[in-house]
Structures are given as C-alpha cells and as structure tokens.
C-alpha cells in the first residue's frame, strides 16, 4: 500500500495568505501546526506582563511591543514562523511602516506564557530556539507554579518566584514588575 502524499512545504508568505480557520497556528519547517486556543487564565497572565511592558516602552520611547501571538519568521528554507505571546523590539529595529505580515527580524525580548497543553520540553526548546535566532532575553511565565524563568545571554537563567521582581536592565532600564502582580490571586 502506498503512503499518502505529504503536503507541500509552505513559505512564510504562503502561510500568511491562508484563510483564518480560528485556530492558533505556527509554521514549523514549512508545515502548519495548530494549537488549541489558550485559556482565560493564560490571557490574564499575558495581559499583565504585556500591559506593564507596553506602558514602560511607550513612556520611555524604547521601541515597539506586540502581543496576541504575532508571527515572526525565524528560519527560511524551509520556513518557520513562530508566534510568541509577546515581543519587544528596541527603537529603530523594525521598518516604519511595517508592511509585511511577518517580520524576519528577531525581537530583542520574547514573552512566552505556558499553557495547560504545553509540554515542558517543548517550552524549553522554543525558548532555546528564540535565543538561537538572536533574541536577547526570553521571559517564560509558568502560571501553574506562579514562577517566571528568565533566559538571557550566554547560558544565563534566573528563576523568579512570587516575591521577586521581573527586570531587564540591558533592554528596559528601570523597568520593574513584581512577579506577584503577573499572576491572578
């Protein structure tokens, strides 16, 4: 019996042209990967981080932020388009206006909030993938444990608990967000 023919690999541009089917999607090595929608609690944590980050960035004219799973091209041939929960770009790093659906410039900082359906190993691999593309700092929020892991340059890793403060002096001078303010309850 013959194997079914594999779907052709998509480019980032072909992926951007697909109709919206209501599911969260990423393009991984040319193949569309669908994920269930995130929970309300996941959205609360994303909002808490990105609200404070966005306000700080705007008040201090530091650059641009995006949230709601913005697509970012991180590899070509085959193409990969990942969608972080949030991204920060220092001023001047993105063209104005941004006329393409998915920039191929890595953010300076990526925010990932772990969903109920995410596997620990996949989250760590995604953080590593972001860093390998040139992202300087990755914040991974773990709602189930109310902790945030900060991955930085080199092999720098910091684990923050509820009593700690989330900072990033290298990119966001003066920014300070108490971890307890990130998680509901």
For residue 148, tell me if it sits in a domain: yes
Q: Which domain holds residue 50?
A: 38-181
90 burial (CB, 10 Å; 0-12 / 13-18 / 19+) is middle
For residue 23, tell me if it sits in a domain: no
Any idea what the CATH number is for the domain that residue 174 is in? 3.90.1570.10
The pLDDT assigned to 7 comes to 77
Structural domain count of the chain: 1
Q: What is the pLDDT along the chain (185 residues), one digit of tens a residue?
A: 566 677 789 999 999 999 988 888 999 999 999 998 889 999 999 999 999 999 999 999 999 999 999 999 999 999 999 999 999 999 999 998 888 899 999 999 999 999 988 999 999 999 999 999 999 999 999 999 999 999 998 889 999 999 999 999 999 999 999 999 999 87
């Amino acid at each position: 019996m013959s194997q079914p023919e594999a779907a052709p690999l998509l480019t980032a541009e072909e992926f951007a042209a697909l109709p919206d089917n209501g599911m969260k999607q990423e393009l991984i090595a040319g193949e569309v990967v669908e994920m269930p929608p995130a929970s309300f609690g996941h959205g609360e944590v994303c909002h808490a981080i990105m609200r404070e980050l966005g306000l700080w960035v705007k008040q201090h004219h530091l650059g641009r932020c995006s949230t709601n799973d913005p697509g970012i091209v991180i590899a070509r041939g085959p193409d990969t388009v990942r969608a972080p929960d949030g991204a920060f770009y220092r001023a001047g790093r993105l063209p104005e206006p941004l006329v393409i659906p998915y920039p191929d410039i890595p953010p300076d900082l990526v925010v990932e909030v772990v969903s109920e359906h995410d596997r620990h190993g996949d989250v760590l691999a995604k953080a590593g993938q972001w860093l390998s593309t040139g992202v300087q700092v990755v914040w991974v929020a773990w709602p189930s444990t109310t902790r945030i892991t900060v991955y930085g340059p080199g092999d720098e890793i910091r684990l923050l608990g509820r009593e700690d403060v989330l900072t990033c002096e290298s990119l966001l001078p003066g920014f300070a967000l108490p971890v307890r303010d990130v998680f509901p309850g």
